[in-house]
């Protein structure tokens, strides 16, 4: 499904490059089983091993194409907020969003947390630790993928995304 050199999104590891596809020569591991050997782009020195024939939900997918990334950014104003039934479900809703491995869900998460932040700051309160944690995770994953797709820095992508979230357009 994936080839050496492909950029993929691997669950919560973010953007990775497929470095190799091989059997692992590690004790306790089935020597017949093939693995993707992935190098995370934004996590120097780490390596991820994913079975080619994974039985779980799709752990990996290709990075968005440039046109898909541009379309996503263009539709950010129309993407709805997350629906959180009650405050006790906030973190679980955020976790589910992160597990989805879907850019639109990450945008929903960022938009929801952005609004919650604004309301808390206006009320003279601090941003919650849960909001801060998931904001950072969503930024890392979304901005990393869009940066690769659009051949931009994560900072530039962050500016574009936040401009769209706040309803302004960058020239």
Whether the predicted pLDDT of 66 surpasses 70 = yes
Tell me the C-alpha to C-alpha distance, in Å, between residue 66 and each of 19, 25, 107, 142.
Answer: 22, 37, 17, 14
108-163 confidence digits (pLDDT tens):
999 999 999 999 999 999 999 999 999 999 999 999 999 999 999 999 999 999 99
d(Cα 136, Cα 119) in Å, to the nearest integer?
19
For 87-130, give the DSSP string: GGGHHHHHHHHHHTT-HHHHHHHHHHHHHHHHHHHHTT-PPPHH
Contact 19, 13 (CB under 8 A): no
Domain ranges of the chain: 7-61, 64-165
pTM of the predicted structure, to 2 decimals: 0.88
Contact 142, 110 (CB under 8 A): yes
d(Cα 1, Cα 62) in Å, to the nearest integer?
10
Per-residue pLDDT band for 55 (boundaries 50, 70, 90) equals: low
- Residue 103's Cβ-count burial label (10 Å; 0-12, 13-18, 19+) is buried
Q: Does domain 64-165 have CATH number 1.20.58.1290?
A: yes
d(Cα 10, Cα 72) in Å, to the nearest integer?
19
d(Cα 154, Cα 76) in Å, to the nearest integer?
17
Task: Tell me what pLDDT residue 4 has.
Answer: 97
């Amino acid at each position: 499904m994936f080839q050496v050199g492909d950029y993929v999104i691997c669950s919560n590891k973010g953007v990775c490059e497929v470095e190799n596809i091989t059997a692992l020569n590690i004790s306790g591991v089935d020597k017949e089983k093939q693995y993707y050997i992935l190098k995370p782009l934004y996590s120097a020195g780490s390596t991820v091993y994913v079975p080619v024939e994974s039985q779980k939900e799709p752990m990996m997918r290709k990075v968005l194409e440039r046109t898909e990334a541009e379309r996503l950014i263009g539709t950010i104003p129309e993407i709805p907020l997350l629906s959180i039934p009650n405050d006790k479900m906030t973190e679980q809703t955020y976790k589910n969003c992160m597990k989805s491995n879907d850019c639109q869900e990450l945008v929903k998460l960022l938009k929801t947390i952005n609004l919650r932040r604004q309301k808390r700051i206006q009320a003279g309160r601090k941003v919650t630790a849960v909001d801060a944690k998931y904001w950072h995770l969503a930024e890392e994953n979304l901005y990393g993928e869009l940066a690769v797709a659009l051949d931009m820095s994560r900072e530039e992508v962050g500016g574009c995304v936040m401009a769209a979230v706040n309803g302004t357009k960058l020239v």
